[in-house]
Amino acid sequence: MTRHHASRRRSVARRLRATSAGLATGLLVTGLLVAPAQARSRTDSSTGPGAPIGTAARTVGDARYEPGPCPRTPEPVEALKGARCGTLTVPENRARPTGKTIRLGVAIVPAESPTPKPDPVVWLAGGPGDDAVGEAKMAIDGGLNRDRDVVFMSQRGTYSAEPNLLCPNIDEFNARAVGLVYDAPSTERLHVKATKACRDQLAARGIDLSAYNDTESAADYDDLRTALGIKQWNLYAISYGTHLALVYMRLHPGGLRSVALDGILPPSKGGSALTWSSARQGFDGLFKACADQPACAKRYPDLPATFDKLVRDLEAKPVTTTVTLPGSDKPVKVVLDGGALVNWMTSATHVAPQVPIALDELAHGKPQRIARQWAGGKLSPAAVGRVAHGLSYGVFCSAWTPYESEEAALRGGRAAFPSFPRSVQAQAPQLTFLRPDCAAWNVPAAAPSIRDATRGDIPTLALSGGFDSQTGADNGPYVARTLSKAKVVTVPYEPHVVFATSKCAQEIATSFFDTPAAPKTGCLKDLEPPEFEIGP
């Protein structure tokens, strides 16, 4: 998930896992269905019917696909060499079909097989606010294009879309905030000020902020499918992308052959209580793995108690330190309070072998390792100008905060971590100051149906990691209750978005698209826990 602390919430494991020093703390309306493609489409290209997908211009209803240059990415993406690219043009707000249009970048990476299957895989990125096109390497390195084309489209508002809703001023605030007390009222005021500045800047560009949400995005993807002339395709969704996928499955089920959900975020449960529960599960999974490993258990006994005490002590008396980060000799001031430690821990499961020693060092007056990790992601050049904060708020402020009271959010913190101070419990991990931010963002609530559980018989793979502290593993069985053909798989010892870190998860996922009823899970039996770093 991503929101104001994009580097922290970004589901989106790519920066979380890059290096330990760069560790970042990184989540409707009816009447939008288009008529069947055969009833409303025309082909505007002389390209023949046997041509590869993405090579023909085509208009379907209010949507138009045109071949063209590949979408821009922050850095060159080797996986996009040889991709077939173009743009999808759709209404910004389908309630106003004669109003403004937006353009979404599309890249189609061909299958390695000379005889690809007719049903491509579509990659749904995390966030909200990450650009799928920039994640092509993750998908292709995992083998998703073995015998199917893989389709990447920049979700509305993201980096390579026109318009984009990036707001780098928020990223710049996140970088400055490492030197502030994390959950102090003064930090909240600056936090909301940055949010409002972002909103004002986007509104001044004439952007309809109410149109950047799951419902419109799901319609964008189904429009792309029909504009490409594809009868059915498959989804691979990570993190927030699973939130979008579950809405897509509910609103546009006919175009879906199968769906893989990785790091599951159910719209029907979205909110602060969910992130607290997820944190508890991921932390407990990691702590148990240490307790089960004799060397770790001996050197770091009772890690949960150590962690709880650190949260309480730091919240009462924050620690200030100075660190230098890779690539720079400029000292950086870092303040660690209880809320900062909880949010560090939420992403630190991506570098699990270091967590016990890092907590032990902090408990013995050496905060530098955690301070470097806490600050590293936010001060990295890669943390600025890449996440569509406008889309993040569009989702959270329409689909989450209107349907979870402040008291319910607080109860979630109390239930998960009863020993934490109230000031920590009041700010859910990954969602700090969400309610006042959403008041400043000021978009209408989504229709209550956004909170409906997704039901149906689309073959679905529900993948989770045993160390996932961002979207807890119990979300797999939860979504499977109403999906009659769902397979639930938890990959032990893995953090958020298992496809990015686990060869076993990649094998399971690729086998699922071959045989959705019987994915191959035999590799799970050979997995072993990480070897925790043991200090002197």
**Distances in Å between the alpha carbon of 477 and those of 21, 282, 458, 516?**
34, 16, 16, 17
Predicted TM-score (pTM) of this structure: 0.92
Give the pLDDT confidence score for residue 49 in this predicted structure: 54
Phi then psi dihedrals of residue 41, to 5 deg: -105, 155
Structure tokens at 24: 């970042």
Q: What length does the chain have?
A: 536
How far apart are alpha carbons 273 and 279 in whole angstroms?
A: 10
Which single residue is written with the structure tokens 């989450």?
A: 400
Task: Tell me the C-alpha distance between 32 and 252, whole Å.
Answer: 10
Task: Yes or no: say if 346 and 24 are a contact pair by the CB < 8 Å rule.
Answer: no
Note the pLDDT of residue 377.
86
pLDDT in tens, the chain (536 residues): 645 433 333 333 333 333 333 332 233 222 222 222 222 333 343 344 568 999 999 999 999 999 999 999 999 999 999 999 999 999 999 999 889 999 999 999 999 999 999 999 999 999 999 999 999 999 999 999 999 999 999 999 999 999 999 999 999 999 999 999 999 999 999 999 999 999 999 999 999 999 999 999 999 999 999 999 999 999 999 999 999 999 999 999 999 999 999 999 999 999 999 999 999 999 999 999 999 999 999 999 999 999 999 999 999 999 999 999 988 889 999 999 999 999 999 999 999 999 999 999 999 999 999 999 999 989 988 889 999 999 999 999 999 999 999 999 999 999 999 999 999 999 999 999 999 999 999 999 999 999 999 999 999 999 999 999 999 999 999 999 999 999 999 999 999 999 999 999 999 999 999 999 999 999 999 999 999 999 99
DSSP one-letter string for 427-453: S-TT-TTHHHHHHHH--PPPPGGGGSP
List, as one string, the DSSP characters of 390-423. Answer: HHHHHHHHHHTGGGS-HHHHHHHHHHH-TTS-HH
Nearest C-alpha neighbor of 461 from the set 523, 509, 507, 524: 509
Query: How far apart are alpha carbons 34 and 447 in whole angstroms?
Result: 19
Amino acid 24: pLDDT: 29
Pick the closest to residue 12 from 279, 241, 247 (CA basis): 241
- DSSP H helices, 33-113, are 37-40
The CA distance from 187 to 192, in Å, is: 9
User: How far apart are alpha carbons 405 and 383 in whole angstroms?
Assistant: 31
Nearest Cα to 413, choosing from 403, 402, 424, 405?
424
Q: What is the largest CA-CA distance in the chain?
A: 71
The helix/strand/coil state of 125 is: coil
User: Residue 477 class from Cβ within 10 Å (0-12 exposed, 13-18 middle, 19+ buried)?
Assistant: middle
Q: How far is CA 382 from the centre of its chain?
A: 16
CB 345, CB 351: distance < 8 Å? no
3-state class percentages of the chain: helix first, strand second, coil last, to nearest 5: 45, 15, 40
3-class SS letters over 193-262: HHHHHHHHHHHHCCCCHHHCCHHHHHHHHHHHHHHCCCCCEEEEEECHHHHHHHHHHHHCHHHEEEEEEE
Residue whose pair of structure tokens reads 């939420």 in the numeric block:
346
The predicted structure's pLDDT at residue 1: 61
* C-alpha dihedral sign at 234, 238, 244, 246: positive
DSSP 288: H
* pLDDT at residue 358 in the model: 98
- With left for phi above 0 and alpha for psi between -120 and 50, is residue 456 left, alpha or beta? left
- pLDDT for 46 equals 37
